[in-house]
Amino acid sequence: MDEPAQPVFSEYGYLMPPGPHKGSLCHIRLHFVEGTISPKYRAQLFILMEGVIHSFCELLHTDCVQIWIGGVFISNIPEPECTDLCIFISPDSFNNADKHARECISRFMHPSTDSTHTADCILQNMCCNVHVLIDETDDENPFYLVCQHAKAIMEEYYHWDKDHHPRGYFICNAEGIIEDDTRQTETAQ
């Protein structure tokens, strides 16, 4: 594996340039855990975040998910409070999941209707702010526009902080390899 370039940060500590960066979980660990002043706390956050990612993969029985990792964790701020994670699931992975898995995942897609407050519990117990979206790519599907709108909202959320300072975020997949611009094809389960 090639050594990833050192990240560049803005005056506010955010990854530059703003917007998506291609990376791997290994790249993120190298620069945002091991390459920091306070790696112990960041290491704990990273391990918890990896656990959340792998739990979703086990729930879906696939590693074919796209992951966005952003927020203050992807900065040079010494002790971020949590990690921000958005998991994009293909419609086939969602539809092929068992009933329990679909119900669990739906809680993240519709948090206002989740009486168990699953996302809040993960944030409190695992310091990981989790969002889940269906990654519909078929523009003939009636839900395509809704999915694209939700993705645009997440892009805005990951691209700007609450004070409207621009920031970068990483796109990778659950296997930890660098996500490229081509779609992955899922193998039959």
Dump the DSSP string for 166-186: B-EEEEEETTSSBP-SSPPPP
Average pLDDT, the chain: 87
pLDDT the model gives residue 177: 52
Return d(Cα 86, Cα 69) in angstroms, integer. Answer: 7
3-class secondary structure, 131:
strand
Which of the four pLDDT bands, split at 50, 70 and 90, describes residue 174? Answer: confident
> What pLDDT, in 10s, does the model give residues 16-71?
999 999 988 988 999 899 877 777 889 999 999 999 999 999 999 888 889 999 99
> What pLDDT, in 10s, does the model give residues 77-87?
888 999 999 99
Question: Which residue type, as a one-letter code, is found at position 57?
Answer: C
Cβ(29)–Cβ(46) below 8 Å: yes
> What pLDDT, in 10s, does the model give residues 92-126?
999 999 999 999 999 998 888 888 899 999 999 99
pLDDT the model gives residue 176: 55
pTM: 0.87
pLDDT the model gives residue 3: 57
Pick from 34, 52, 51: nearest CA to 43: 34
Cβ(176)–Cβ(28) below 8 Å: no
CB atoms within 10 A of CB 106: 15
Using CA atoms, how far residue 38 sits from 73, 80, 122, in Å, is: 12, 10, 23
Between helices 39-60 and 99-109, what is the axis angle to 10°? 130
Phi, psi of 132 (to 5 degrees): -130, 130
Task: Evaluate the omega torsion of the peptide bond into residue 78 and state whether it is cis, within 30 degrees of 0.
Answer: no
Helix (H) or strand (E) holding 66: strand 65-70
